[in-house]
Amino acid sequence: MATIADIAQAAGVSKSTVSRSFTRPDSVNAETRERILAVAAQLGYTPAPAKAETTGTIALFIPDIANPYYPPLVKAVQAACRRQSLSLIVVDGEGDPEADAEELERIIGHVDGALVFAPRLDAGRLRALDAVSPVVLINHAADGLPSVILSAPEGARQAVEHLVALGHRSISYLASLEDNYSSRVRLAAAEEAADHLGVTLRVLTHASPTYESGVRGADLVLAEPVTAVIAHNDLMALGCLNRLVDRGVEVGKDVSVIGFDDIWLASASRPTLTTVTTPYDRGGAVALRLLTERIGDRDRPAATIHLSGDLTVRNSTGPAPATLD
């Protein structure tokens, strides 16, 4: 049986263009669409039937199911769906924005709507998806689409205030990639708090929000006259923490470390990690509410809702050392 990939190869176009030719024909050049339809007929391809008026099913797209940040979010959305007798399809990303967009384009017409955790997907593609079935974004924002932002920006301010209260006056920051919306929100809030409190905040890196980036960031921290570090998420913070320990640094005494999200590893590390919690349960419920409201009323104004967790203080932070070595 022919597939969209077969048609794309034969017609000399992308898989997403083939998909849009069937789901959103007005978005494809007429000549290109005719060529695609001719190839599809020649190969015997039959598109999936259009979705019924309602399916009772929504999709949740997440970039990486292996990242410990996402399973609690999946469980929170699933619990919210069960309360409304809705079925949930979880779509795991491939780390490639183009491939991720194509996957969403394949399923969007077969669900009532989608919750999309989309830090790197193009806004135009997201709005095109929304034209087929309603879309609500999580930890991302695009004009015209509702969104829910978790752990921002109050948590970042609390992190800075906590360090300043402990006597820290020079703080380093390990940021995520600059196209990551939640990273920009957290960093902006931390910089505002540092400026208000009269302390120095040094942004040392914009890197992928991974454990390995935190390991590399730790060496940058040690090269700077700082006594504390805030990392974009717990994975980066734990990478930094473990590298500092390997370098003979006593975390919580010589250098303090703070993360974001409160993944389960945060309380299992040694020392345990001070972190800003993520309001998974509230976030899942609010995101689903926005989606069901949009399914019921496509003209409803798009809202961006910020939900912030609180700082959980553990052993990775402590009073600033009297002097810098």
Higher per-residue pLDDT: 222 or 105: 222
CA distance 107 to 113: 10
Interatomic CA distance for residues 197 and 99, integer angstroms = 44
**Phi and psi at residue 166, to the nearest 5°:** -85, 0
Grade residue 325 by pLDDT with cuts at 50, 70 and 90.
Answer: very low
> pTM above 0.75?
yes
What's the average model confidence in pLDDT over 254-275?
97
State the Cα–Cα distance between residues 273 and 256, nearest whole angstrom.
10
> Confidence band (pLDDT; 50, 70, 90) for 300?
confident
Q: What share of the chain is helix, strand, coil (3-state, %, to 5)?
A: 45, 20, 35
- What is the arithmetic mean of pLDDT over 63-79? 93
Q: In the chain, which ranges are E strands?
A: 57-62, 87-92, 113-117, 135-138, 147-150, 170-175, 200-206, 228-231, 256-261, 274-277, 304-307, 311-312
Q: What are 305-324's pLDDT values in tens digits?
A: 999 889 999 999 999 998 64
For residue 284, give Cα distances in angstroms to 111, 181, 185.
18, 18, 20
The predicted-structure confidence for 25-59, as pLDDT tens digits, reads as follows: 777 888 898 888 888 888 887 665 555 568 899 99
Residue type, 279: P
Domains of the chain: which residue ranges? Answer: 4-43, 57-150+280-307, 154-278
Residue 58 in contact with residue 162, Cβ under 8 Å?
A: no
Q: Which CATH number fits domain 154-278: 1.10.10.10, 3.30.465.10, 3.40.50.170, 3.40.50.2300?
A: 3.40.50.2300
* CATH C-level class of 4-43: mainly alpha
Q: Which residue has the higher pLDDT, 2 or 62?
A: 62
**Top-confidence range, 107-111, 199-203, 319-323:** 199-203
What is the CATH topology of the domain spanning 57-150+280-307? Rossmann fold (3.40.50)
Chain segment 8-18, per-residue pLDDT in tens: 889 898 877 88
Domains 4-43 and 154-278 share a fold: no
Sheet containing strand 57-62, edge to edge, reads 87-92, 57-62, 113-117, 135-138, 147-150, 304-307
> What does the block give as tokens for 262?
């409160």
Burial 132-144 (b: 16+ CB within 10 A, else e): bbbbbbbbbbbee
